[in-house]
């Protein structure tokens, strides 16, 4: 059959832009005021894209993003979205709001995915019909309906462009012509592959680690390693060179995660792995398919029916015509993309194995866990997006193969296929959410801000969005990982311990916003109102706004406060029963502090401690009594593994110290520090 003429790129792109507007309606009518999905991850991604436009990426200031204060390198706890910022940063520099730029990036993720899938399919088939089918199947496939809150997952448009560069490079004739000749064109395709790979890796950390599972088999299948190994080596070299900008980013992420002890447990990974039934779970947002009860958004992996039928019929035709062997010999793209789809789906199933046991060795994902980086990934099910891409290309190849057999019904055949693909992925009206209301802060340039309750994810997301307008350091954070110091904060507040807030307010004012929606019983408001020195400033749309400025406490252990040099005192600890621990110093000495390594035993430590001193073991006097939260918070920031808690006891003199309540392990951990002479 005669090849089709390639349609003008602008026509194809315009078609997919209009289709993206239709598929995500009514988003295009609310670009300035709403976001698609829920007010969680979309708000986080909006904040990240705003930060990328207002701080030079990869600088110290950029890594030390102003959330999860006073933590350093907070940016390494979430996706950085630098690949998406190639669109959103220029828009914001030109005056677009963060919400507008986020929504435009969302629309572009659909439109460009369709456009580049069309170009790849046309390159492989020389058929416009196959191109349209590939674009529809990839850009508007059913899987996307379950991922509307994850812009970084939807931003998969660089995958087909990357594959297009690879196919064109192998197909382009070699030559020694100048830069505009054959050699120059081949190099340009290789550069296109490298640029697309880099943009995809910078858009989504999952795909950076997942895509090699597609690229390596592609090289094995399509490169003629016996006759032309140079082509494969050139591709590999270009891949390595294109990956070099990723190295400093990966090292920063690795160092931060290792310092904080952040990794995903096998339980976490299994929880967000697909199951066989996941491929039958249709998102509730799909218009024509019954919704399934998935365990999370990651469980809606239904690929539709039309693409599967096309692939099965296309493979069946190879079998009926006894062409399977020839397809293997000729390295058929159809066979590859079908096999690649099955591999991506198998990887989406995760490591498997018994809930309390090791991964199942026969699961491909279990092998990937041996590679660096995979211990930090929680959602193997996202391999399904790469599977959506390969399935779209496989279905397009099947259309090109089956279309000649339709004879006089070719137009009807293509129309039916397009209708089926469109029906599979057709969504209901996309749900839109309003961004959180802003809070205007008066005369608080040096203040930090915290929103309560700090363990509510939607409060944390809203706090980050409000940070865009007030631009003060934010104690809250909404990220893929919860750093240890933030867990201490939320645990302390749950025990009515506000000492961390008081400690944070010693070096700068602290603005405390109590979220009315999440504080239905007004318990947190009452807790904040009891803090000495706190003052109600105003009542905002989010809730009451308090300001706290605590006096500097010379007994505080927070960094930067001066104190006399200390030395370790000799003593032995005795369990006095009834949760009391007595430390015998043998003689009366001046005591500066008690110190102990908490490690992972936060829940064993009482929210308040009483420390008493005695010269003779008969008469006891109170040396210190107070909340423990601020000292644990400080220790966690300094060393998250040991958590060396230090409680100052300046001016105390005693031969014996008694601590209550004392967990059993404290007798082995406690150290007494005295003032050095």
Can you spell out the DSSP letters for 13-49?
HHHHHHHHHHHTTTGGGGTTT-EES-SSHHHHHHHHH
Mind listing the pLDDT tens digit for each residue in 482-508? 999 999 999 999 999 999 999 999 889
pLDDT of residue 353: 87
Which class for 487: exposed (0-12), middle (13-18), buried (19 or more C-beta within 10 A)? middle
Mind listing the pLDDT tens digit for each residue in 523-542? 999 999 999 999 999 999 99
Residue 173 sits at φ, ψ, to 5 deg, of -70, 140
Phi-psi map region of 643: left, alpha, beta (phi>0 left; psi -120 to 50 alpha)? left
Run of H or E including 527: helix 523-529
Tokens representing 638 are: 């300094």
Q: Which of 252, 304, 29 is nearest to 145 (CA)?
A: 304
Rg (CA), the chain: 30
pLDDT of residue 560: 37
Phi-psi map region of 387: left, alpha, beta (phi>0 left; psi -120 to 50 alpha)? alpha
Find how far residue 463's CA is from the centre of its chain: 18
Average pLDDT, the chain: 92
Q: How far apart are CA 646 and CA 604, in angstroms?
A: 16
Give me the residue label for tokens 């602008």.
10
Tokens representing 495 are: 């025990």
580 DSSP β-pair partners: 577
Output the furthest CA–CA distance in the chain (Å, rounded): 107
Cβ–Cβ < 8 Å for 106, 76: no
| CATH code, 566-675 | 2.60.120.260
Q: How far apart are CA 329 and CA 332, in angstroms?
A: 8
State the sign of the Cα–Cα–Cα–Cα dihedral 143, 145, 149, 151.
positive
Q: How far apart are CA 389 and CA 327, in angstroms?
A: 21
Let me know how many helices (H) and strands (E) the chain has, helices first: 26, 13
Give me the residue label for tokens 């005693």.
654
Q: Which of 354, 364, 360, 369 is nearest to 387 (CA)?
A: 364
Mind listing the pLDDT tens digit for each residue in 250-285? 999 999 999 998 989 999 999 999 999 999 999 999
Residue ranges of the chain whose pLDDT lies below 70: 1-2, 175-183, 444, 552-566, 677
């Amino acid at each position: 059959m005669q090849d089709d003429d390639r349609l003008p790129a602008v026509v194809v792109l315009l078609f997919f832009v209009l289709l993206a507007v239709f598929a995500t309606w009514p988003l295009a009518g609310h670009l300035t005021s709403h976001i698609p999905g829920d007010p969680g991850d979309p708000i986080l991604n909006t904040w990240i894209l705003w930060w990328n436009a207002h701080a030079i990426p990869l600088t110290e200031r950029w890594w030390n993003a102003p959330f999860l204060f006073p933590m350093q390198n907070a940016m390494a706890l979430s996706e950085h979205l630098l690949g998406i910022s190639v669109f959103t940063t220029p828009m914001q520099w030109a005056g677009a709001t963060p919400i507008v730029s986020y929504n435009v990036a969302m629309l572009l993720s659909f439109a460009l995915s369709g456009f580049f899938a069309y170009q790849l399919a046309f390159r492989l088939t020389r058929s416009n019909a196959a191109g349209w089918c590939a674009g529809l199947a990839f850009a508007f496939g059913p899987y996307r309906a379950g991922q509307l809150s994850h812009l970084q997952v939807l931003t998969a448009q660089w995958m087909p462009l990357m594959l297009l560069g690879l196919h064109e490079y192998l197909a382009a004739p070699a030559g020694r012509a100048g830069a505009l000749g054959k050699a120059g064109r081949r190099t340009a395709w290789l550069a296109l592959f490298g640029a697309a790979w880099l943009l995809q890796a910078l858009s989504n950390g999952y795909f950076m680690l997942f895509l090699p599972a597609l690229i390596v088999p592609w090289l094995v299948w399509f490169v003629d390693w016996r006759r032309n190994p140079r082509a494969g080596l050139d591709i590999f070299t270009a891949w390595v060179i294109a990956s070099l900008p990723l190295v400093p980013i990966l090292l920063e992420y690795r160092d931060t995660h290792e310092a904080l002890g952040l990794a995903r447990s096998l339980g976490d990974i299994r929880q967000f792995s697909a199951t066989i039934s996941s491929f039958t779970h249709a998102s509730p947002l799909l218009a024509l398919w019954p919704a399934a009860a998935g365990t999370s958004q990651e469980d809606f992996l239904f690929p539709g029916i039309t693409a599967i039928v096309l692939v099965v019929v296309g493979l069946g035709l190879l079998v009926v015509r006894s062409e399977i062997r020839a397809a293997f010999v000729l390295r058929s793209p159809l066979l590859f993309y079908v096999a690649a789809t099955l591999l991506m789906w198998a990887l989406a199933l995760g490591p498997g194995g018994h809930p309390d046991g090791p991964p199942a060795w026969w699961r491909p994902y279990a092998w990937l866990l041996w590679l660096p980086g995979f211990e930090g990934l929680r959602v193997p099910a996202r391999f399904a997006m790469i599977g959506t891409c390969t399935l779209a290309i496989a279905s397009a190849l099947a259309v090109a193969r089956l279309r000649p057999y339709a004879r006089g019904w070719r137009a009807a055949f293509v129309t039916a296929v397009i209708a089926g693909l469109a029906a599979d992925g057709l969504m209901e009206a996309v749900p839109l959410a309003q961004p959180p209301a802003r809070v205007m802060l008066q005369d608080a340039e040096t203040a930090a801000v915290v929103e309560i309750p700090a363990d509510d994810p939607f409060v944390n997301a809203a706090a980050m969005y409000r940070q865009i307008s007030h631009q003060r350091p934010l104690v809250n954070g909404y990220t893929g990982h919860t750093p240890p110091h933030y867990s201490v904060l939320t645990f302390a507040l749950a025990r009515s311990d506000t000492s961390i807030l008081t400690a944070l307010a010693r070096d700068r004012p602290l603005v405390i916003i109590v979220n009315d929606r999440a504080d239905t019983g007004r318990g947190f408001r009452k807790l904040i109102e009891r803090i000495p020195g706190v003052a109600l400033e105003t009542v905002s749309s989010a809730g009451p706004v308090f300001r706290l400025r605590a006096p500097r406490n010379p007994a505080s252990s927070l960094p930067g406060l001066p104190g006399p040099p200390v030395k370790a005192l000799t003593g032995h600890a005795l369990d006095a029963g009834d949760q009391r621990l007595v430390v015998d110093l043998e003689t009366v000495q001046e005591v500066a502090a008690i110190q102990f390594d908490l490690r992972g035993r936060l829940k064993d430590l009482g929210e308040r401690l009483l420390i008493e001193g005695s010269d003779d073991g008969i008469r006891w006097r109170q040396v210190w009594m107070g909340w423990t939260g601020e000292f644990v918070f400080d220790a966690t920031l300094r060393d998250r593994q040991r958590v060396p808690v230090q409680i100052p006891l300046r001016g105390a003199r005693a031969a014996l110290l008694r601590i209550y309540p004392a967990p059993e392990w404290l007798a082995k951990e406690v150290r007494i520090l005295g003032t050095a002479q």
